[in-house]
Amino acid sequence: MKVCEITGKKAVVGNNVSHSNHRTKRRFSPNLKTKRYFLEEEGRWITLKVSACGMKTINKKGLSAALKGAKSLNRIY
């Protein structure tokens, strides 16, 4: 499923709106990338499916703090 493992962002539903204002359903997918991070506490690499916003969160807080925040919300593992 397309869900960010750090922020929990997932696809949302919206409308395509034509010039004549005709509306049809569409999905907005999150900007997910598969990225490997080195977890220094355990000395191993982990692979995460993260959004661009999740990458910024990891850069700002650090990997272990971001994982701790995600684990408390039962988003990964």
Domain 12-72 in this protein, CATH class:
mainly beta
Here the tokens at position 38 are 């080195």
Where are the domains positioned within the chain? Answer: 12-72
pLDDT of the chain, 77 residues: tens digit per residue: 899 999 999 999 999 999 999 999 999 999 999 999 999 999 999 999 999 999 999 999 999 999 998 866 665 55
Question: Measured between alpha carbons, how far is 51 from 75 in angstroms, rounded to an integer?
Answer: 13
